[in-house]
């Protein structure tokens, strides 16, 4: 347990920042889950619009300390690869 005033304040600040970072990551995770669901069952246009919003969200989160920029870039790359695979299968059908 923190005893000094500054240590108590740091405990409060850490809890606030931790909650904010968890909220940001949860938003990204839920958006990605929704995107994968639309990859399986949705249209290509719907997936493209969701991918654009996820790109924006990942860029915003990676500009903070919640996520590293390379992590966001890796996720964006994998999401784009999933969309490209869907477009190839849609073109064949």
The pTM (predicted TM-score) of the whole model is 0.88
Helical H runs in the chain? 5-41, 44-62, 69-92
Mean pLDDT of 37-43: 94
Distance from C-alpha of 27 to C-alpha of 70, rounded to nearest angstrom: 18
Distance from C-alpha of 31 to C-alpha of 1, rounded to nearest angstrom: 37
Distance from C-alpha of 52 to C-alpha of 20, rounded to nearest angstrom: 23
CATH topology assigned to domain 5-92? Methane Monooxygenase Hydroxylase; Chain G, domain 1 (1.20.58)
What mean pLDDT is reported for the chain? Answer: 96
**What does the pLDDT look like over 42-82, one tens digit per residue?**
999 999 999 999 999 999 999 999 999 999 999 999 999 99
Distance from C-alpha of 18 to C-alpha of 5, rounded to nearest angstrom: 20
Are 49 and 34 a contacting pair, CB within 8 Å? no
Domain ranges of the chain: 5-92
């Amino acid at each position: 347990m923190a005893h000094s005033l500054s240590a108590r304040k740091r405990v409060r600040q850490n809890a606030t920042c931790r909650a904010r970072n968890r909220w940001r990551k949860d938003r990204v995770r839920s958006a990605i889950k929704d995107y994968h669901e639309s990859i399986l069952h949705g249209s290509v246009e719907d997936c493209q619009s969701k991918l654009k919003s996820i790109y924006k969200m990942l860029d915003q989160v990676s500009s903070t300390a919640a996520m590293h920029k390379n992590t966001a870039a890796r996720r964006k790359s994998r999401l784009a690869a999933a969309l490209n695979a869907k477009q190839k299968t849609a073109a064949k059908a």
